[in-house]
Structure 1
């Protein structure tokens, strides 16, 4: 890859990772149980959460959410590091010629997972719940942290396929793999924290979750096609023309 093409690949990877993180949180197997998770880690009833909340309760919610996300991040970033090392190992094993191969495998995987996420492909084994169960005996930040690790390690039906795409992307570009994983975590954390603060918006987003998943699936399919077909250079030229055209119009 040339310098500009590599930078564009990184940009597309970052955008995909951020979007994938947000899509994972907004998926039908995470978002609907979000209030129950908040209730579980904070000890505040769902009814209280959905009612008027004081500044103290908001602070408690956000603090517990932060520790929950730390647990989630630990697992996701560890997996990202593992995928990056695996990608480096494969490239060394094949004398550095594996990058394009892994990139094309990632493209196929992302296309298939995009079809699955959008609801156009049924993959039975991905629909089985595998989330680790963790019994939280009392409300504590340490307990909340371990609930986060259990949640992330469990491969819930929607998070597994989406995050798997990011892991393959990390393996195809090992030097940036950890960065992609961090972007995924940020993409997951932003809507999590926003909806923790504005919990009343959850019901509206749940109603729109099918549309959100279809749009997300279409974007994943598009990214997968770009990776597999090797049309990154054309995408690069298009983005450069778009940016240059925007700047020229502003200067003019």
Structure 2
């Protein structure tokens, strides 16, 4: 595989990871409780959060959100690094065509998780929440950081399957796994920060979260099928050719 095609595969995977992060945040497990989390980490009531914000409140919301997301990022990226090293170790242990084998296993897992996320199958073990609960948040930004870590360490019915799929993707591509995890974190963080200032928009998104999750489930299934069939290099080559032809047409 050429270096340019490999780079194209990386870009495709990173965009998918970015979308997976956004899907995790917009899921019915996270978005409905988002205002409550903001209230908890800032000490501002939900009613105040949904009203007009002055400069001081906006500053407090943004600063605490950043520390919360730093805590989330630490856990997610650490898991991504671990998955990448594990995938590399397995490939070195098995040698040969182990990379393709891991990709196919990852493909089957992602298909299964896509069916779960879309609501077409149920799996009781994934429906259990294993999140740390705090009766009283530690004071200041350090406390917010630890709450973010506790949030990320918990497996919820929506975040768990989606992020686990990213970890499998990272394990199947050890040299690129960290990038997938970072893009997942960015995808989670961007809507978090945007909706911090537009809490009223969450009601509309919550009403349509079922459709959002089904679309996300379909995308995960398609991605799983691509990994299992080994078609990613061909798709990357096609996209690369398409971009090159587009540029040549413009230059011509």
Task: Check conservation: 1:132, 1:151, Cα contact below 8 A.
Answer: yes
Structure 1, 117-126 or 189-198: larger mean CA deviation = 117-126
- For 2:145 and 2:44, the matched residues in 1 are separated by 17
Q: Secondary structure at the match of 1:242?
A: helix
Deviating beyond 3 angstroms after TM superposition, the runs of 4 or more aligned structure 1 residues are: none
Unaligned runs of 5+ in 1: none
1:9: Cα distance to partner?
A: 2.0
Partner of 1:25: 25
1:138: Cα distance to partner?
A: 4.9
Residue 131 of structure 2 corresponds to residue 131 of structure 1: yes
1:245: Cα distance to partner?
A: 3.7
What TM-score does the superposition give when structure 2 sets the normalisation length?
0.95
What TM-score does the superposition give when structure 1 sets the normalisation length?
0.95
1:222-237 matches, within 5 Å, as: 222-237=222-237
Question: Residues 105 and 159 (structure 1 numbering): CA distance in 2 closer, same or farther, change over 3 Å?
Answer: same
Partner of 1:57: 57
CA RMSD of aligned residues (A): 1.5
Residue 34 of structure 2 corresponds to residue 34 of structure 1: yes
1:91: Cα distance to partner?
A: 1.1
Partner of 1:212: 212
Partner of 1:178: 178
1:162: Cα distance to partner?
A: 0.3
Question: Residues 97 and 247 (structure 1 numbering): CA distance in 2 closer, same or farther, change over 3 Å?
Answer: same
Partner of 1:89: 89
**Deviations for 1:203-248, whole angstroms, at most 9, x for unmatched residues?**
1111111111111111111111111111123312331343234324
1:175: Cα distance to partner?
A: 1.0
Task: Check conservation: 1:136, 1:143, Cα contact below 8 A.
Answer: no
Task: Check conservation: 2:12, 2:236, Cα contact below 8 A.
Answer: no
- For 1:174 and 1:38, the matched residues in 2 are separated by 35
1:179: Cα distance to partner?
A: 1.3
- For 2:134 and 2:109, the matched residues in 1 are separated by 31
Partner of 2:199: 199
Unaligned runs of 5+ in 2: none
1:144: Cα distance to partner?
A: 0.6
1:11: Cα distance to partner?
A: 1.5
**Deviations for 1:152-204, whole angstroms, at most 9, x for unmatched residues?**
00111111100001111111111111111111111100000000022221111
Q: Secondary structure at the match of 2:184?
A: helix
- For 2:231 and 2:177, the matched residues in 1 are separated by 21
Task: Check conservation: 1:5, 1:232, Cα contact below 8 A.
Answer: no
Task: Check conservation: 2:9, 2:233, Cα contact below 8 A.
Answer: no
Q: Secondary structure at the match of 1:199?
A: coil
Partner of 2:251: 251
